[in-house]
């Protein structure tokens, strides 16, 4: 299953590490929901889940898990092997 991330909620800051909740849709079923960052990280890592975002032109960037030396894992987009800021450009809730 692959989900499209459509919005985020930040808490305590404005960087990727501060994303606490993500809204998503499953284009194959039209199911929609929201999940915590920890739930999405776990789903990607343990269930081989795939997530992505699209910009206004339909360009797609995959969502990956960043594993810092210190602190909790967090999510960030990457395209062509480069980490990008597409998640932070999404609408906020």
Q: 63-76 pLDDT, tens per residue?
A: 999 999 999 999 99
Residue of 26, 35, 10, 19 lying closest to 72 (CA atoms): 19
19 closest CA partner among 67, 73, 74: 74
Domain residue extents for the chain: 2-85
Task: Label residue 90 by pLDDT band (50, 70, 90).
Answer: very high
pTM listed for this prediction: 0.93
pLDDT digits (tens, 9 = 90+) for 18-35: 999 999 999 999 999 999
């Amino acid at each position: 299953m692959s989900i499209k991330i459509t919005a985020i909620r930040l808490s305590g800051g404005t960087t990727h590490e501060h994303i606490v909740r993500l809204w998503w849709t499953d284009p194959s079923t039209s199911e929609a929901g929201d999940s915590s960052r920890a739930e999405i990280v776990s789903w990607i890592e343990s269930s081989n889940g795939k997530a992505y975002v699209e910009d206004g032109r339909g360009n797609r960037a995959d969502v990956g898990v960043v594993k810092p030396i210190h602190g909790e894992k967090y999510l960030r987009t990457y395209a062509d092997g480069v980490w990008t800021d597409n998640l932070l450009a999404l609408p906020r809730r």
